[in-house]
């Protein structure tokens, strides 16, 4: 509960000055269908399969980190496709990111396999309802932003070609949720493997302005097993969605070793 409260505070701070985003946040936070869907996603992911968190906390981490990434990119002059495609402004980009991040794993409520495709089906009515609450009768904006949100859900695993900045951000933000808190419960209830050992070694993930590229993801770990999370999980996802030109990664190990990627 403490972790979630801190996440909520950080999200509210990140969307300060964006009234539509705050309205959307309040609506999604109180939505029972979304809450129950993510709870069911975790029943399958953690309870049945012994995988890591795919529920509410993970959704919020992905949402917060997607906003952080876009905030840095925006200051660097990179615009979301909501702006490029003349659908809306920078707040509307954030609306798309918030919905896409919160809903990206809803397909896990049915099955892990193809949960990217299933998520589009499961979440369509919810995303429509959220967008209608923000944009009222502006059907064109609702339909066009919904299409980008759908792409965010569909492409978050890197299995489908990602063409929008928003969908690339969501996939990357999804990959940044790798700290040990996400793996602790499945580690206790299922057989340990490299995925769980590596995740348990990750202490902190920080998203900051890059040195050679716009965004730097700094991963602090207490053991070299955490390298697996970076090279096999995060970097592969960034490659798959074609976002390597925007992201650089730094691994900091407790013993003082420091590795930079890209």
Only one residue has tokens 């409260």, namely 5
- Write down the pLDDT at residue 183: 56
- Write down the pLDDT at residue 187: 46
Clarify whether residues 138 and 165 are in a common domain.
yes
Task: Report how far residue 147's alpha carbon sits from residue 256's, in angstroms, rounded to the nearest whole number.
Answer: 45
Per the CB < 8 A criterion, the answer to whether 208 and 216 are in contact is yes
Question: In which element (H, E) is residue 25 found?
Answer: helix 19-29
Q: Tell me what percent of the residues of the chain surpass a pLDDT of 90.
A: 80
247-253 and 258-261 as β-strands: parallel, antiparallel, unpaired?
Answer: antiparallel
Task: Report how far residue 160's alpha carbon sits from residue 68's, in angstroms, rounded to the nearest whole number.
Answer: 24
Please say which residue of 174, 202, 229 terminates a domain: 174
Beta strand extents in the chain (DSSP E only)? 202-209, 215-221, 247-253, 258-261
Clarify whether residues 6 and 127 are in a common domain.
yes
pTM: 0.93
What single string gives the DSSP state of each residue in 89-149? -HHHHHHHHHHHHHHTTGGGGT-STTHHHHHHHHHHHHHHHHHHHHHTT-HHHHHHHHHHH
- As a whole number, mean pLDDT of residues 118-144 equals 98
Clarify whether residues 155 and 205 are in a common domain.
no
Q: What is the mean pLDDT of the chain?
A: 93
Clarify whether residues 104 and 210 are in a common domain.
no
Clarify whether residues 139 and 48 are in a common domain.
yes
Tokens of 182: 């996400």
Clarify whether residues 83 and 138 are in a common domain.
yes
Clarify whether residues 148 and 189 are in a common domain.
no
- Write down the pLDDT at residue 203: 93
Whether residue 219 is predicted with pLDDT greater than 90 in this model: the reply is yes
Clarify whether residues 151 and 223 are in a common domain.
no
Domain count, the chain: 2
Please say which residue of 174, 206, 235 terminates a domain: 174
Domain that holds residue 201: 180-261
- CA distances in angstroms from 9 to 35, 95, 124, 259, listed in the order given: 18, 18, 27, 31
Tokens of 115: 């949960």
Only one residue has tokens 């919904």, namely 146
> Which CATH number do you get for residue 243?
3.30.300
pLDDT in tens, 60-102: 999 999 999 999 999 999 999 999 999 999 999 999 999 999 9
pLDDT in tens, 25-72: 999 999 999 999 999 999 998 888 777 778 899 999 999 999 999 999
């Amino acid at each position: 509960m403490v972790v979630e409260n801190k996440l909520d505070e950080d999200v509210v701070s990140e969307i300060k000055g964006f009234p539509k985003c705050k309205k959307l946040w309040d609506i999604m936070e109180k939505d029972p269908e979304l809450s129950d869907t993510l709870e069911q996603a975790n029943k399958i992911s953690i309870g049945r399969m012994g995988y890591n968190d795919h529920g509410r906390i993970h959704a919020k981490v992905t949402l917060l980190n997607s906003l952080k990434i876009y905030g840095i990119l925006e200051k660097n002059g990179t615009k979301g496709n909501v702006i490029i495609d003349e659908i809306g402004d920078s707040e509307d980009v954030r609306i798309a990111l918030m919905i896409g991040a919160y809903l990206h794993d809803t397909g896990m409520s049915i099955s892990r396999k193809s949960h990217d495709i299933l998520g589009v089906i499961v979440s369509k009515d919810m995303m429509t309802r959220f967008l209608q609450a923000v944009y009222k009768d502006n059907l064109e904006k609702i339909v066009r932003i919904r299409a980008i949100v759908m792409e965010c859900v569909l492409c978050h695993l890197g299995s489908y070609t990602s063409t929008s900045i928003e969908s690339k951000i969501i996939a990357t933000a999804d990959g940044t949720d790798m700290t040990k808190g996400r793996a602790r419960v499945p580690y206790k209830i299922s057989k340990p493997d490299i995925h769980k050992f590596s995740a348990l070694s990750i202490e902190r993930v920080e998203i900051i302005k890059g040195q050679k590229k716009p965004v730097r993801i700094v991963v602090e770990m207490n053991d070299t097993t955490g390298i697996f999370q970076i090279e096999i999980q995060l970097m592969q996802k960034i490659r798959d969605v074609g976002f390597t030109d925007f992201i650089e990664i730094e691994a900091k190990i407790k013993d003082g070793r420091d590795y930079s990627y890209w």
